[in-house]
A and B are shown apart, each in its own frame.
Chain A
Amino acid sequence: DGGITQSPKYLFRKEGQNVTLSCEQNLNHDAMYWYRQDPGQGLRLIYYSQIVNDFQKGDIAEGYSVSREKKESFPLTVTSAQKNPTAFYLCASSIDLGPRQPQHFGDGTRLSIL
């Protein structure tokens, strides 16, 4: 059963701590994305990747980092430089970056500050 798996579902971060959110897909998709959702706002793009070992900044990349060492995996690190990390984070993938390709989403990770 193909899909996208995000873990953990809930995550708590202490001040000054880096945390990493996991995203794995078995859809054989080339493109992967990370979004952030805040109350009353649409999904905002953090980073995206078109292919292994390549990724690009989205609209709100500051304070975040990613890697794409494997096609299936696109982890997101929320660094201590991200001053307002509390949000709902969604990972997505699509066959490629084509604008008409629907994106498939994971179930999200909710990050909170302790």
Chain B
Amino acid sequence: GDSVTQTEGLVTLTKGLPVMLNCTYQTTYSPFLFWYVQHLNEAPKLLLKSSTDNKRTEHQGFYATLHKSSSSFHLQKSSVQLSDSALYFCALSSSSGSWQLIFGSGTQLTVMP
């Protein structure tokens, strides 16, 4: 079945440094990938999405490229800010008719001064 793997549960960085959060997926259908961000005590919100192979998509300084050859959709930012501290989820749109999102376990990003 469909699945999403995020290998880092916790990432701690100093402000101004680059970050990459890993996401790999498994599906037998055409992949539709999403990154959602959840700040403390808030609802998850869409950060960016993609279904196009090898095309970089960007939003709010974050970017990701869907690579179907490696089944990956890593999230990157060149210089993290304190306000980027949040829980980041990678998600895959289900191939079933529910259009549900299959979420990874999430990566908690903490940015230190």
Pairing of A with B: no
The residues of B with any CB-CB pair to A shorter than 8 Å are none
The residues of A with any CB-CB pair to B shorter than 8 Å are none
